[in-house]
């Protein structure tokens, strides 16, 4: 194998890894992003953006599920549990946005420990 073939294989693997990461983001699997080397190699800002995007996708899924529960007039307990998760994820997403725009003159945004571990 010559150098050109090796470089092409490496680029192909990187493109596949990036595509796999994009699939996880699209699926809203924000807690699983840390499994990907491509994600871990990003800057902190890049990791925050990826988690923000995945959280937004997850929130869209949960809101649709909540509306479906409401439409079907399912149990209040299930809807209440879903609403708590939606509210929690909205707060996390808002805090991530503050992290992106934070400067040292401001008070640093507080993130839940599990989120801080994911974004590093």
What is the model's pLDDT at position 92? Answer: 92
Nearest CA among 104, 90, 106 for reference residue 30: 90
Q: Would the CA dihedral through 101, 106, 111, 117 be positive or negative?
A: positive
Residues 57 and 65: their CA atoms lie apart, in Å, by 13
CA angle 41, 54, 70 (to 5 degrees): 165
How far, in Å, CA of 106 to CA of 98, rounded?
Answer: 10
Distance (Å, rounded) from C-alpha 48 to C-alpha 111? 11
Confidence label for 58 from pLDDT (cuts 50, 70 and 90): very high
Question: pTM of the predicted model, to two decimals?
Answer: 0.81
Domain residue ranges in the chain: 16-119
């Amino acid at each position: 194998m010559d150098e050109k073939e090796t470089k092409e294989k490496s680029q192909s693997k990187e493109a596949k890894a990036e595509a796999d990461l994009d699939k996880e983001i699209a699926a809203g699997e924000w807690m699983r992003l840390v499994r990907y080397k491509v994600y871990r190699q990003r800057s902190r800002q890049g990791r925050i953006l990826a988690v923000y995007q995945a959280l937004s996708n997850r929130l869209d899924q949960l809101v649709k599920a909540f509306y479906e529960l409401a439409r079907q007039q399912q149990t209040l307990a299930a809807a209440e549990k879903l609403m708590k998760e939606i509210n929690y994820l909205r707060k996390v997403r808002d805090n991530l946005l503050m992290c992106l725009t934070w400067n040292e003159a401001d008070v640093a945004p507080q993130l839940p420990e599990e989120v801080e571990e994911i974004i590093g």
